[in-house]
Amino acid sequence: GTLCLAPKNRPAVVSLLSTNAASQLIRDFIAKNPDLTYLQPLEMLAFMTAVGWIYYSGFFHPESYERSHMKLILKYVLLTQPLASKLQDAYRLGLNPNPCSIRHPGLSCAQFARSDFIQRIAVVAFNLYFPVHFTAWLLAQRHAKVRARPLTTRIARFLAKLTRSATYFWAFVYVGWTLSCHMGKLGDRSQGMRKLQFFLGGALPSLALFIESPSRRRPIGLILSSYALVSMGNVAFRRVSWLQPGVSSVRGLLEASCVGAAVAATISGSLESNNLLQRILLGDIEARALQTKLRQVKEAETTAEGAGSNVIAPKLRA
């Protein structure tokens, strides 16, 4: 199925599916090995790296993105294409202009931070997240358990989720640009420092993700990480001709293999927890057999853990 897609459209699909599968495999591995819980912060570190890369590469490697991805990135950081193109062209020529001189000409960084930029971010945040949360809220009303709650409670939950998402977006964009402004002198030293300025301007504000609802953090992380991985891959292999989209069948086979492995890993994990998916893919008899087997394995693991604790306890008392 992947080979039926246009070569230029494959990387985004491959990256999103692969990122989701890899994230789920790591989560499952840590869940089965509680002694490795100290590795959990690495997921947030990977997200920060991805967002930092997006900010940096958006100015220095804009051609590494899908056109639709770049449009969304510019839209949600409140930067127009003409302004972005000025900076991209200058950096491509080896120049090192301070983005503040183009981002807010005639205003100091402090004046810009207190300008209508604050209200513009709030408007974009509301326009972005209101349709998302309102649609989810309407769909949730189909369930009897949800309708059993008072209407005021349901509306309050909707407003709380909308507020958290809008606040996350506002903090991320505002802190990102403000931080970039204050690091301008660092970037003025060299183009290498300018790259670091943009990277930190994206990586550090991404901690605002903790403002967002826990259920929405992972989807946001997966989408932005997949954007970054597409860009990283294009930058890393731009000099390898047979790995360019549509040039060789080798790349197509590699992409199809990645999608196959990602889908297999995702379905395998879903089969263990989704009874409906089990019945659809396996049929009722096989689904019941799988549920029984999974239950037996879980009971055996619980029994083994209990026996281990019973053996350790007398030794500790001794």
DSSP per residue, the chain = -GGGS-TTTHHHHHHHHHHHHHHHHHHHHHHH-GGGGGGTHHHHHHHHHHHHHHHHHHHH-GGGS-HHHHHHHHHHTT--HHHHHHHHHHHHTT----HHHHHSTTS-HHHHHTSTHHHHHHHHHHHHHHHHHHHHHHHHTTSHHHHTS-HHHHHHHHHHHHHHHHHHHHHHHHHHHHHHHHTHHHHTT-HHHHHHHHHHHHHGGGGGGGGS-HHHHHHHHHHHHHHHHHHHHHHHTTT-GGGSTTT-HHHHHHHHHHHHHHHHHHHHHHHHH-HHHHHHHH-HHHHHHHHHHHHHHHHHHHHHHHHHHHHHHHHHH-
pLDDT of residue 280: 45
Average pLDDT, the chain: 84
Does 57 fall in a domain? yes
Query: Looking at per-residue confidence, does 273 or 66 come out higher?
Result: 66
Q: Does 300 score more than 90 pLDDT?
A: no
Q: pLDDT confidence of 254, banded at 50, 70, 90?
A: confident
> What are the tokens at 54?
């997006």
Does 47 fall in a domain? yes
Gap between the Cα atoms of 53 and 196, Å rounded: 10
CA nearest 245: which of 57, 53, 62, 64? 64
Check if the beta carbon of residue 128 is closer than 8 Å to that of residue 76: yes
Rounded average pLDDT over 255-262: 81
- Please count the structural domains in the chain: 1
Does 271 fall in a domain? no
Q: pLDDT confidence of 274, banded at 50, 70, 90?
A: low
Query: Looking at per-residue confidence, does 27 or 205 come out higher?
Result: 205
Query: Looking at per-residue confidence, does 216 or 282 come out higher?
Result: 216
pTM attached to this predicted model: 0.79
Structural domain boundaries enclosing 47:
37-123+171-238
Gap between the Cα atoms of 68 and 14, Å rounded: 16
Does 267 fall in a domain? no
Gap between the Cα atoms of 275 and 127, Å rounded: 37
Q: Which of 130-139, 175-184, 217-226, 243-252 has the lowest mean pLDDT?
A: 243-252
> What are the tokens at 34?
């509680």
Gap between the Cα atoms of 221 and 312, Å rounded: 41
Please give the share of the chain, as a percent, with pLDDT higher than 70.
Answer: 81
Token pair 């449009």: residue: 71
Q: pLDDT confidence of 53, banded at 50, 70, 90?
A: very high
Give 104-154 pLDDT, tens digit per residue. Answer: 998 999 999 899 999 999 999 999 999 999 999 999 999 999 999 999 999
Q: Does 69 score more than 50 pLDDT?
A: yes
Give 155-207 pLDDT, tens digit per residue. Answer: 999 999 999 999 999 999 999 999 999 999 999 999 999 999 999 999 999 99
pLDDT of residue 85: 95
Q: Does 2 score more than 80 pLDDT?
A: no
Does 284 fall in a domain? no
> What are the tokens at 287?
């689904």
Does 2 fall in a domain? no
Q: Which residues lie closer than 8 Å to 7 by C-beta, 6 or more apart? A: 245, 246, 251, 252
Check if the beta carbon of residue 100 is closer than 8 Å to that of residue 69: no
Q: Does 56 score more than 80 pLDDT?
A: yes
Does 107 fall in a domain? yes
Q: Does 313 score more than 90 pLDDT?
A: no
Does 119 fall in a domain? yes
Q: Does 307 score more than 60 pLDDT?
A: no
pLDDT of residue 318: 47
Q: pLDDT confidence of 22, banded at 50, 70, 90?
A: confident
Q: Does 291 score more than 70 pLDDT?
A: no
Rounded average pLDDT over 275-287: 49
